[in-house]
Structure 1
Amino acid sequence: MNFLLLFSRQGKIRLHRWYQAYSEKERRKILKDVPYIVCNRKPRMSNVVEWSNGLKLVYKRYASLIFCVAVENEDNELLVLEIIHRYVELLDAYFGNVCELDVIFNFEKAYHILDEFILGGYVQESSRKLCLDAMCEADLLAGEVDVKKILEEVGLY
């Protein structure tokens, strides 16, 4: 995995994580080009786009958010789609049906969930329960509400 971008249907970047070294100029160009490429694709087109430098973009749209990952041409697209879906499941479990505003106003938590799940471009922890446990512990250390108890009450945990 080279990078992960999360943006709105209008192309506004909401979250980005870089797993390969890019110069600031390259990053700005990627942040401008990738949302343009993905947002201008028709709904019935494939979720995989052959891109430059031996990379391909794998993306999936959930409501008003688009999750996009750049991977090598040899990587398995279905596995990448599964990774994207697992991240969305984690966000849904934590925020309760995640939306764009959750990511905007709680971006540090969205980054933390991503870092619990993916580290250095590789899946670090595939267990949803362990990722959520780590988030609940972080919330307890920060003195915030016990999210685990709330999730158990709602039946999401």
Structure 2
Amino acid sequence: MIHFVLLISRQGKVRLTKWYSPYSQKERTKVIRELSGLILTRGPKLCNFVEWRGLRVVYKRYASLYFCMCIDQDDNELEILEIIHHYVEVLDRYFGSVCELDLIYNFHKAYFILDELLLAGELQESSKKTVARLVAGQDSLVETAKEQASAISNIIAHATKKVMNLLAIAF
């Protein structure tokens, strides 16, 4: 089981967190600080698996981001590396060539994609095409909702203008 997912920049800034096990806010802060210090200081030629608090942290660096997942000791590390790579490939497919700024300004999309891939700390969907289709469907729903909200806003503005004109005439 995946206990949590962290995306950390090379400067130690957290870009995304997803917790599948219960941690208090104080514990989360401590976990992030500990793992940031541990992973960012490791050399590039060292193994991508780290023993930590009786668990195992699997991480992979892509450009300026470290994608980290914490798993149980007996889970398969190579499978988790594949899940990380799968997530990055889906992000690349959605954003073009994903970069740190895409995740900063479109964090909700990064979370949505992660939620389509993982459910309760387990791999839910292994098909990139299916995830891309689901994300495109959600984008379509958001656009429809924006258009409807805009139309309602225009109706309200028009009605308000008429009421104001009527009030001006009455007084």
Q: TM-score with structure 1 length normalisation?
A: 0.89
Give distance in 1, aligned partners of 2:64 and 2:25: 27
**Amino acid in the other structure paired with 1:39:** L
Structure 1 stretches of 4+ with a deviation exceeding 3 A read none
Residue in 2 that maps onto 1:130: 130
Q: CA deviation at 1:120?
A: 0.6
Residue in 2 that maps onto 1:18: 19
Residue in 1 that maps onto 2:119: 119
Q: CA deviation at 1:46?
A: 0.3
Give distance in 2, aligned partners of 1:98 and 1:7: 15
**Amino acid in the other structure paired with 1:123:** L
Residue in 2 that maps onto 1:103: 103
User: Helix, strand or coil for the counterpart of 1:68?
Assistant: strand
Greater Cα radius of gyration, structure 1 or 2: 2
The percent identity for this pair of structures is 54
Let me know the Cα RMSD of the aligned residues. 0.8
1:5 to 2:39 alignment? no
Give distance in 2, aligned partners of 1:13 and 1:35: 9
Q: CA deviation at 1:10?
A: 1.0
Q: CA deviation at 1:105?
A: 0.4
**Amino acid in the other structure paired with 2:105:** F
Give distance in 1, aligned partners of 2:95 and 2:130: 16
User: Helix, strand or coil for the counterpart of 1:45?
Assistant: coil
Give distance in 2, aligned partners of 1:64 and 1:127: 26
User: Helix, strand or coil for the counterpart of 1:142?
Assistant: helix
Give distance in 1, aligned partners of 2:100 and 2:120: 25
Structure with the largest fraction of helix: 2
User: Helix, strand or coil for the counterpart of 1:69?
Assistant: strand
Q: Which ranges in structure 1 are unaligned for 5 or more consecutive residues?
A: 145-157
Q: TM-score with structure 2 length normalisation?
A: 0.82
Q: CA deviation at 1:25?
A: 1.2
Residue in 1 that maps onto 2:141: 141
